[in-house]
């Protein structure tokens, strides 16, 4: 597994400059977040199926999204689309606490087991409609959306703290990563590279 980690980090380093993010990817055991039959592929830089029509995202995309959030370590972060819990586990290395929302109860339950196995303790899992966010827990210093939609749900943007950043794949003819930053001038949007995510339900 150690050799797999080092190989993955070598593949990510040309594309991800934030050493804190790279350290988080190294620290989180991705093999704890994939089905047992796929453990040998856990450290490959590819998405893998996890059931319920969902995937664990490609490590490069997870790392890029975390890098774009520019977390300092003291933020409260909202993660929409828990999936296997891997993305939340990486975020938990970079923030004070993560709230992760998943529509599929079975996936959330498995994510809880995965996070416990990886000894990640600063993640709160919830089952529900992630597009509504968690207004009772807002505002958030970072919001990660791990599913694609035609537009960023307004409720999520409204739950972004001043100075916070939201990262999401947005479907506009093709999927691209979009960053929304809440500045003193309002919400500023930047569109970046192409990606491929399952749809936001």
Tell whether the model's pLDDT for residue 58 goes beyond 90.
yes
Domain annotation covers residue 199: no
Distance CA 83, CA 140 (A): 20
Catalytic residue ranges? 57
Domain annotation covers residue 67: yes
Tell whether the model's pLDDT for residue 143 goes beyond 90.
yes
Handedness of CA 129, 167, 161, 185 (dihedral sign): negative
Q: What is the mean pLDDT of residues 112-120?
A: 98
Q: What is the pLDDT of residue 201?
A: 64
Distance CA 135, CA 196 (A): 28
- Total domains present in the chain: 1
Domain annotation covers residue 71: yes
pLDDT band at 4 (very low <50, low <70, confident <90, very high): confident
- Per-residue pLDDT tens digits for 149-181: 889 999 999 999 999 999 999 988 889 999 999
Q: What is the pLDDT of residue 198?
A: 67
Q: What is the pLDDT of residue 2?
A: 75
Domain annotation covers residue 182: yes
Of 79-88, 150-159, 192-201, the range with the lowest mean pLDDT is: 192-201
Distance CA 40, CA 16 (A): 24
Q: What is the mean pLDDT of residues 22-28?
A: 97
Domain annotation covers residue 168: yes
What's the CATH code of the domain at 103? 3.40.50.150
Distance CA 1, CA 4 (A): 5
DSSP conformation class of 180: E
Q: pTM for this one?
A: 0.94
Residues 6+ apart with CB under 8 A from 43: 1, 4, 5, 7, 8, 30, 31
Domain annotation covers residue 201: no
* Partners of 199 in beta bridges: 148
Strands 97-102 and 160-171 come out as unpaired
Q: Which two tokens stand for residue 140?
A: 């958030």
Confirm if 68 and 192 have CB atoms less than 8 A apart. Answer: yes
Confirm if 80 and 108 have CB atoms less than 8 A apart. Answer: no
Distance CA 99, CA 76 (A): 8
Domain annotation covers residue 110: yes
Structural domain that includes position 59: 1-194
At 70, is the secondary structure helix, strand, or coil?
coil
Q: What is the mean pLDDT of residues 33-61?
A: 93
- Per-residue pLDDT tens digits for 89-103: 999 999 999 999 999
Distance CA 54, CA 76 (A): 25
Q: What is the mean pLDDT of residues 2-11?
A: 91
């Amino acid at each position: 597994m150690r050799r797999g980690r080092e190989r993955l980090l070598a593949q990510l380093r040309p594309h991800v400059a934030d050493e804190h993010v790279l350290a988080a990817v190294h620290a989180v055991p991705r093999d704890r977040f994939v089905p047992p039959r796929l453990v040998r592929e856990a450290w490959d830089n590819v998405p893998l199926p996890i059931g319920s029509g969902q995937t664990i995202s490609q490590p490069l995309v997870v790392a890029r999204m975390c890098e774009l959030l520019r977390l300092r370590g003291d933020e409260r972060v909202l993660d929409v689309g828990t999936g296997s819990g891997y993305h939340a586990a990486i975020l938990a290395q970079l923030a004070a606490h993560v709230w992760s929302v998943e529509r599929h109860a079975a996936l959330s339950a498995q994510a809880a087991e995965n996070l416990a196995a990886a000894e990640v303790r600063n993640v709160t899992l919830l089952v529900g409609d992630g597009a509504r966010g968690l207004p009772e827990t807002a505002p958030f210093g970072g919001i990660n959306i791990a599913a694609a939609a035609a537009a960023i749900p307004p409720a999520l943007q409204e739950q972004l703290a001043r100075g916070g950043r939201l990262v999401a794949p947005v479907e506009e003819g093709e999927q691209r990563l979009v960053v929304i930053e809440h500045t003193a001038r309002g919400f500023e949007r930047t569109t970046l590279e192409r990606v491929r995510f399952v749809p936001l339900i």
